[in-house]
């Protein structure tokens, strides 16, 4: 925590003003007026045409940068073998991303789902299909992709890093954005798919590569109405739900006694509250937890002790930053659990 | 600030002209500080002017500059999310026209500050820029970002500490 006072920030203020003064501003009032006249329909993102060299370099060279998941502490394990000795076809648990409600629209949540493995590797196509049309364990989550979309192929091209791509072929109505879907939801739908594909492909040289789409067997200019050549996972803090419970999972049966809850959260002052409810509203236990870091997605865990058999709802949530002033509400994740 | 308070009947086109004259350049600079991308910043600011023009009859016209500012900050946040998911292979960038007649050193300083800002968590960056570039009060920042004044203080002090860390050299030169 800083102990700098207002006075000491004069140097930062000076530096920001100096920086701002050096930024040239293009555009004109006429340009805006012209757009007001010509744009009566909701408009999509227009790519910047005037850009400073540095800004462009960031974007052009930034594909690799944007895709690197450099915060591995928050990434759930990509794939772990379950049981190879049972004689049934081997399955592997993979991480699949779904959307759920947050204080500000939707955010992504991570779940673990088993998929068949082929030659010891999880079935990539099946995992991506789960992200597109699978049923989440948690009934509060859902896929944002429209219905009737099938994943027909997932492959790789190019080498590792910026040069490579993960190629996902989809059949269905996915080139344009379905009526009623917001741009933010389209971004989250794509991010969920990209994150799932990249996590399952963790061993491949192209694991960090962006995803290129083929729709109905052909190249496409847009996916869910988003114009792009390739698509990345997005920054955690931009797309992930701010409060998530990773274990226990929804519907899990756990032994009586003590239960360790784990998850990730991006919370103000890193503070989280939890409650254990019976019958949906009676609080039988509650407490606090602290994430490893403030304000950015980081892991947390806490223990619930003296757990008696029964059915419970576990709720983990952050604290309303506005103190109720803004009517902002909270971010939360809840799990139904059975204690035996 | 422009005095729109007493002129309730001002029409959307006239308001657009006044708002543009007083605020366009400052808002583009604000958006560049938040986004580190000149072209995207101009798009966001122009979109915001168009949105305010379209909603002119329905907004609190006396607070139009604050409303416009809030629109820009919110749209910058959305644009960051968009940029982090969608990648396009863009043509080679045009030469930086602003760099032609300014010293290389100055250009490098600016890039260093923008890079350091880009490393901050979104909220911290927003609070820092609203406070030190736009010189808003804690109360105004809280209103713009819809967070408490306590949260503004906390984000501001973390942001200052982090920026001081990233830019120790530059801040030293300025003394």
Residues of chain B numbered 115-154 and touching chain A (CB < 8 Å): 121-124, 128-129, 132-133, 135, 142, 146-148, 150-151, 154
Work out the mean pLDDT of chain A and round it to a whole number: 82
Residues of chain B numbered 58-77 and touching chain A (CB < 8 Å): none
| Total number of residues shown for chain A | 340
Q: Where are the beta strands (DSSP E) in A36-182?
A: 79-81, 91-101, 106-118, 121-122, 150-157, 165-171
Q: Which residues of chain B register pLDDT less than 50?
A: 1, 3, 5-8, 91-95, 99
pLDDT of the residue at B62: 85
Q: Looking at the partner chain, which of A4, A22, A321 has a beta carbon nearest the beta carbon of B157?
A: A4
- Report percent pLDDT > 90 for chain A: 57
Would the pLDDT of A301 be above 50?
yes
Residues of chain B numbered 91-110 and touching chain A (CB < 8 Å): 92-99, 102, 106-107, 109-110
Q: Is A151 on the interface with B (CB under 8 A)?
A: no
Q: Is A68 on the interface with B (CB under 8 A)?
A: no
C-alpha A141/C-alpha A122 separation (Å) is 23
Q: Do A88 and B125 form a contact (C-beta atoms < 8 A)? A: no
Assign residue A270 a region (left: φ > 0; alpha: ψ between -120 and 50; beta: otherwise).
Answer: left
CA distance A233 to chain B (A): 6
Q: ipTM of the assembly?
A: 0.86
b/e code A122-147 from CB counts within 10 Å (16+ = b): bbbbbbbbbbbbbebbbebbebbbbe
C-alpha B152/C-alpha B140 separation (Å) is 10
Residues in A touching B135 (Cβ below 8 Å): 13
- Residue predicted with more confidence, B169 or A124: A124
| Encoded tokens for B7 | 């002129």
In a 3-state reduction of DSSP, which class is residue B163?
helix
C-alpha A166/C-alpha B155 separation (Å) is 38
pLDDT band (50, 70, 90) for residue A160: low
| Contacting residues for A85 by C-beta, under 8 A, at least 6 apart | none
Q: H-helix or E-strand containing A29?
A: helix A29-38
pLDDT of the residue at B1: 47
C-alpha B172/C-alpha B175 separation (Å) is 6
Q: H-helix or E-strand containing A314?
A: strand A310-318
| Total number of residues shown for chain B | 175
Residues in B touching A52 (Cβ below 8 Å): 38-39, 93, 96, 98
Q: Looking at the partner chain, which of B25, B85, B98 has a beta carbon nearest the beta carbon of A232?
A: B85
pLDDT, mean of residues A157-182: 86
Q: Looking at the partner chain, which of A14, A22, A27 has a beta carbon nearest the beta carbon of B98?
A: A22
pLDDT, mean of residues A244-264: 95
Q: Is A18 on the interface with B (CB under 8 A)?
A: yes
Q: Is B113 on the interface with A (CB under 8 A)?
A: yes
Residue corresponding to tokens 């006072």:
A5
pLDDT of the residue at A87: 55
C-alpha A79/C-alpha A102 separation (Å) is 27
CB pairs under 8 A between A and B: 246
Instruction: Read off φ and ψ for residue A333, nearest 5 degrees.
Output: -140, 140
pLDDT band (50, 70, 90) for residue A7: low
| Encoded tokens for A267 | 């919370």
DSSP A240: B
Q: Do A142 and A168 form a contact (C-beta atoms < 8 A)? A: no
CA distance A255 to chain B (A): 39
CA distance B62 to chain A (A): 21
Residues of chain A numbered 111-150 and touching chain B (CB < 8 Å): none
pLDDT of the residue at A322: 60
Residues of chain A numbered 23-52 and touching chain B (CB < 8 Å): 23-27, 29, 31-33, 35-36, 39, 43, 45-52
Question: Is A4 in Cβ contact with B84 (below 8 Å)?
Answer: no
CA A252 and chain centroid, separation: 23
- Residue predicted with more confidence, A256 or B173: A256
Q: H-helix or E-strand containing A301?
A: strand A298-307
Q: Measuring CA to CA, how many Å separate A7 from each of B113, B142, B160?
A: 20, 21, 12
pLDDT of the residue at A50: 31
pLDDT, mean of residues A226-231: 92
pLDDT band (50, 70, 90) for residue A27: confident
| Contacting residues for B123 by C-beta, under 8 A, at least 6 apart | A295, B145, B147, B155
pLDDT band (50, 70, 90) for residue A88: low
Per-residue pLDDT tens digits for B90-115:
543 444 555 455 678 888 889 999 99
Question: Is A187 in Cβ contact with B82 (below 8 Å)?
Answer: yes
| Encoded tokens for A137 | 């364990």
Instruction: Read off φ and ψ for residue A132, nearest 5 degrees.
Output: -85, -40
Helix, strand, coil percent values for chain A (each to nearest 5): 25, 35, 40
Q: Looking at the partner chain, which of A36, A63, A268 has a beta carbon nearest the beta carbon of B87?
A: A63
Question: Is B97 in Cβ contact with A31 (below 8 Å)?
Answer: no
pLDDT of the residue at A167: 94
Of the candidates A145, A149, A144, the residue with the CA atom closest to the CA atom of residue A100: A144
pLDDT of the residue at A294: 82
Question: Is B46 in Cβ contact with A35 (below 8 Å)?
Answer: yes
Of the candidates A135, A128, A176, A183, the residue with the CA atom closest to the CA atom of residue A154: A128
pLDDT of the residue at A81: 47
Helices and strands in chain B: count of H runs, count of E runs: 8, 1
pLDDT, mean of residues A170-179: 94
C-alpha B106/C-alpha B100 separation (Å) is 11
| Encoded tokens for B22 | 């007083």
Question: Is B80 in Cβ contact with A52 (below 8 Å)?
Answer: no
Of the candidates A309, A246, A316, the residue with the CA atom closest to the CA atom of residue A278: A309
Query: What pTM did the predictor assign?
Result: 0.77
CA B110 and chain centroid, separation: 15
Per-residue pLDDT tens digits for A41-85:
443 333 333 333 333 333 333 333 333 333 333 444 444 444 444
C-alpha A207/C-alpha A94 separation (Å) is 14
pLDDT of the residue at B95: 45
As a dihedral over the C-alpha atoms of residue B134, residue B135, residue B136, residue B141, rounded to 10 degrees, the angle is 70
pLDDT of the residue at A101: 95
């Amino acid at each position: 925590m800083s102990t700098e006072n207002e006075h000491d920030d004069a140097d930062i203020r000076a530096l920001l003003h100096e920086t701002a003064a050096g930024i040239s501003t293009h555009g004109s009032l006429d340009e805006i007026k012209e757009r007001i006249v010509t744009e009566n329909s909701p408009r999509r993102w227009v790519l910047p045409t005037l850009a400073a060299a540095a800004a462009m370099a960031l974007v052009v060279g930034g594909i690799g940068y944007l895709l690197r998941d450099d915060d591995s502490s928050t990434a759930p394990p990509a794939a772990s073998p379950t049981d190879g000795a049972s004689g049934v076809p081997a399955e592997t648990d993979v991480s699949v991303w779904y959307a759920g409600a947050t204080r500000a629209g939707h955010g992504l949540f991570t779940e673990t789902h088993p998929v068949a493995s082929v030659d010891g590797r999880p079935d990539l196509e099946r995992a991506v299909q789960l992200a597109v049309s699978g049923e989440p364990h948690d009934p509060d989550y859902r896929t944002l992709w429209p219905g009737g979309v099938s994943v027909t192929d997932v492959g790789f091209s190019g080498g590792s890093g910026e040069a490579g791509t993960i190629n996902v072929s989809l059949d269905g109505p996915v080139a344009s954005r379905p009526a009623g879907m917001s741009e933010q939801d389209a971004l989250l739908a794509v991010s969920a798919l990209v994150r799932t594909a990249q996590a399952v492909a963790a061993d491949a040289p192209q694991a960090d590569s962006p995803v290129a789409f083929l729709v109905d067997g052909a190249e496409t200019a847009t996916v869910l109405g988003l114009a792009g050549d390739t698509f990345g996972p997005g920054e955690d803090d931009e797309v992930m739900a701010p409060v998530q419970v990773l274990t226990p999972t929804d519907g899990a049966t756990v032994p009586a006694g003590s239960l360790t809850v784990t998850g990730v959260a991006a919370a103000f002052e890193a503070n989280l509250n939890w409650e254990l409810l019976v019958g949906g509203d009676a609080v039988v236990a509650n407490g606090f937890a602290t994430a490893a870091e403030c304000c950015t997605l980081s892991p947390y865990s806490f223990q619930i002790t003296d757990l008696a058999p029964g059915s419970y709802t576990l709720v983990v949530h952050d604290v309303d930053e506005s103190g109720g002033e803004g009517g902002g509400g909270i971010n939360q994740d809840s799990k139904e659990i059975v204690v035996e | 600030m422009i005095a729109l308070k007493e002129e309730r009947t001002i029409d959307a086109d006239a308001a657009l002209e006044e708002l543009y004259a007083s605020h366009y350049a400052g808002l583009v600079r604000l958006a560049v500080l938040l986004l580190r991308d000149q072209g995207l910043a101009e798009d966001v600011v122009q979109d915001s002017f168009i949105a305010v023009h379209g909603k002119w009859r329905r907004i609190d016209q006396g607070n139009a500059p604050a409303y416009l500012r809030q629109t820009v900050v919110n749209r910058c946040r959305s644009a960051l999310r968009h940029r982090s998911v969608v990648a396009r292979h863009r043509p080679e960038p045009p030469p930086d026209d602003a760099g032609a007649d300014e010293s290389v050193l100055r250009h490098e300083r600016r890039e260093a500050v923008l890079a350091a800002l880009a490393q901050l968590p979104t909220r911290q960056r927003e609070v820092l820029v609203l406070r030190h570039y736009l010189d808003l009060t804690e109360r105004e920042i809280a209103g713009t970002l819809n967070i408490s004044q306590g949260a503004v203080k906390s984000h501001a002090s973390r942001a200052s500490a982090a920026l001081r860390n990233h830019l120790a050299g530059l801040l030293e030169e300025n003394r």
